[in-house]
Structure 1
């Protein structure tokens, strides 16, 4: 059974979320504060985390950052804030999606099902042979070979690293800062514009067949389209 962790300080809202999820055969646990939430994340083996941003003890954004640094699992951000800045910040820190209060419990269930299904499909595909294959684009991390419709695409080392990283986190938005730190290292010296240049070159090499693989999320960063 799919298992979801709900980190929400409002017990009434959390119980409604749990009831609707369980009616749809999705098991869930409720945690009413951030500290216990983090502990459960690391020990519970959940398929998705529903994370409220407004928590009393630890800021939800800080929890989001800690989770994403350690655990690769879909995170659905719940926020009462409607500011684009808060939404962008959450996506930059690694949230896969967001939903704003008040929301329909049925919408929550639909989003949870969608993200869990997508994540499980990707994990099954990657675990079978270590390769990522999406719409004719095949990425083999062991041989570091990329092919498109059977034709090998020549990428530089950094281009391959960027493409492989994005493709293994589909539909997740990453800022230029995040990509630079991830690919070049936090201590590296350089201009963030190098990320933009590498993304442009990757696109030139893999998007000539009218397929779009990398999308620019203006003002936020880049994401790989599943």
Structure 2
């Protein structure tokens, strides 16, 4: 689903995505975006930050209450604060205007190549345990002190990368390549934003690092719990 109030830009993006084999729905304002997301249940939402009726941040907040679609936020603002605000409500990635529709399509394809779980009976085989935290990479579930933790797909992917090699200190670039793909281009501090989300949801004090530990001068690694 493409949500963009500039009709010409929306049509260009739609055309590129359709040529790459995607089924695309286009909407032009925030209220319609929330309603359409409920109706069509998209796999990916390309969402402009500056929309009429509801801005992109509020659309993102509302959509995240019922959808785990991958969400790419478009912004014409280069101010880092705007970018971080957008990501703090659940965006998986962002693209700053002007951008290449071909690059946007490549990012979406990379997102959809990530493992997304499967239908049928889920299993805890291969679950990883760190103290009171359990990460199930097969069922894509995370449990803390026996309670299920609601993570976005990208938050889960970051945690899965860290927990898959718990003794490794990942640089931001290494986590970008693990989660977003080797061809991703952008501000690598995107990783810090998602790490912050994880710590908040896991009730993990950054200074203590029970579950996600900061390695000074390098990046992040898994804590022991």
Offset of residue 123 of structure 1: 2.3
Tell me how far 1:165 sits from its aligned partner: 4.4
How many angstroms apart in 2 are the aligned matches of 1:71 and 1:81? 26
Distance 2:84 2:75 in 1: 12
Q: Distance in 2 between matches of 1:9 and 1:132?
A: 46
Q: Does 2:122 correspond to 1:129?
A: yes
Do residues 196 (structure 1) and 189 (structure 2) align? no
1:65 corresponds in structure 2 to 61
Contact 1:131–1:139 (Cα < 8 Å) also in 2 = no
Displacement of 1:113 in angstroms is 0.6
CA distance in 1, matches of 2:125, 2:84: 27
Q: Please give the per-residue CA displacement for 1:16-49, whole angstroms capped at 9, x wherever unaligned.
A: 0010001110110100111111001111021100
Instruction: Name the residue aligned to 1:157.
Output: 145
Cα distance between partner residues in 2 of 1:75 and 1:114: 13
Separation in 1, partners of 2:18, 2:144: 48
Q: Deviations over 1:62-113 (max 9, x none)?
A: 1111111221110000000111111111111110000011111100100111
Q: Distance in 1 between matches of 2:85 and 2:123?
A: 31
Q: Can you give the 5+ residue segments of structure 2 that lack an aligned partner in the other structure? A: 137-142, 159-190
Instruction: Select the residue among 4, 22, 28 that pairs with 2:24.
Output: 28
Measured in 2, the distance between the counterparts of 1:214 and 1:90 equals 26
Greater C-alpha radius of gyration = 1
Deviation of 1:55 (Å): 0.4
Match for 1:48 among 44, 65, 73? 44
Alpha-carbon shift at residue 170 of structure 1 (Å): 2.0
Q: TM-score, normalised by structure 1?
A: 0.64
What pairs up with 1:146-185 in 2 under 5 angstroms? 157=145, 165=151, 169-171=156-158, 173-174=193-194, 176=196, 180=200, 182=201
Question: Taking structure 2 as the reference length, what is the TM-score of the superposition?
Answer: 0.65
The 2-side partners of 1:107 and 1:128 are apart by 36
Q: Matches of 1:72 and 1:89 in 2, distance apart?
A: 18
Structure with greater helix share of residues? 1
